[in-house]
Amino acid sequence: MTRQHYIVLAAGGSAALLLGAFAFQHLGGLAPCKMCIWQRYPHVAAIALGAIALLIPLPVLLALGALAALATAGVGAYHVGVEQGWWEGPSSCSSGAIDNLDPDALFDQIMAAPLVRCDEIAWQFSGLSMAGWNMVISLVLAGLWLAALRAR
């Protein structure tokens, strides 16, 4: 395959993941949490880098595309850990402990709770949540960006 083919596959993969996220949100009614939104930004960057790299074949653009794919994979991995309870997520989108809270503090915590929590799995397929699938596919996309670096 040529470098252009790899770039189209990598940037197109990010576009497909982003379109899928919007479909789940707008057609499927699954509102994204804060960490879901964080995972979208690197895909936007990868799409833009791919478009530019098709016009201006600079190796640095391909490396930045790989970095964008790795960044969203990293956020996806972190999000999976939060969903599985392996570690705590940001307090702004995860449930907090309710031990030893007086009623007023508990009420304040309930009122400040996010509408969509990062520590709850809204959808999964074959044992992986959307964050997990984003992580796996984004690692493949990073490989495509690196293959584009090596291709002529």
pLDDT tens readout for residues 10-26? 999 999 999 999 999 99
Give the pLDDT confidence of 61-98 residue by residue, as tens digits.
999 999 999 999 999 999 999 999 999 888 777 655 55
Would you say residue 110 has pLDDT above 60? no
Mean predicted confidence (pLDDT) in 120-145:
94
Predicted local distance difference test score (pLDDT) of residue 92: 72
pTM for the full model?
Answer: 0.83
- CA–CA separation, 76 and 86 (whole Å): 14
* Both tokens assigned to 4: 């252009």
**Greatest C-alpha distance within the chain:** 65
Residue 100's pLDDT band (cuts 50, 70, 90): low
* Both tokens assigned to 12: 């197109």
- CA–CA separation, 61 and 143 (whole Å): 14
Residue 128's pLDDT band (cuts 50, 70, 90): very high
Residue 44's pLDDT band (cuts 50, 70, 90): very high
Residue with tokens 């995972």: 39
Q: E strands, the chain, where? A: 124-125, 128-129
Predicted local distance difference test score (pLDDT) of residue 4: 96
Mean predicted confidence (pLDDT) in 107-133:
78
Predicted local distance difference test score (pLDDT) of residue 116: 76
Report the b/e string of 54-72 with b at 16+ CB within 10 A.
eeeeeeebbebbbebbbbb
Name which of 21-30, 33-42, 84-93, 121-130 the model is least confident about. Answer: 84-93
Phi-psi region of 29 (alpha: psi -120 to 50; beta: other; left: phi over 0): left
CB 48, CB 14: distance < 8 Å: no
* DSSP-derived secondary structure letter, 97: P
Predicted local distance difference test score (pLDDT) of residue 43: 98
Q: How confident is the prediction for the chain on average, in pLDDT?
A: 89
Domains of the chain: 3-150 (1.20.1550.10)
